[in-house]
Structure 1
Amino acid sequence: MNDLQDVSAVVIPSAAHQKPLRRLFQGLWQGLERARTRRLLAQLDARDLADLGLSHADRLNEMTKPFWR
């Protein structure tokens, strides 16, 4: 019976330590996705913008934003 392992001493990483890292990666992923969609928006011509209901000024306004916004 002395060969039993004390499982109460097992350290499990807390969720509090995982959440900041997860938020960092999610924020980075979202920023990269916004940058990608803005690059695609930059390639649209006037007809495509009209189909989306956007003006040239709307496109310029969106393209000047940094990737984190």
Structure 2
Amino acid sequence: MDIFFNGHKLRVKENLTIKELIFFLDLNLDLIVIECNKKILPKKLWQNYFLTEKTHIEILTIVGGG
């Protein structure tokens, strides 16, 4: 199925959760914020939130420094 990830079309398997997508993309769970269909998705929902066709995901990485 196709989703939109950071503005680009991405083909993923069916029944994929947000958490599985994060592991697939090799991202650090502690340093990202996820927006799903224009709403911030709390971390407690990532494991049970299944992606559907044409879901729009934006993943923002938190960067420290000054």
Shared fold by TM > 0.5?
no
- TM-score bracket, shorter-length normalisation: under 0.3
Q: Bigger radius of gyration, 1 or 2?
A: 1
TM-score computed with the length of structure 1 as normaliser = 0.25
Larger helix share, 1 or 2: 1
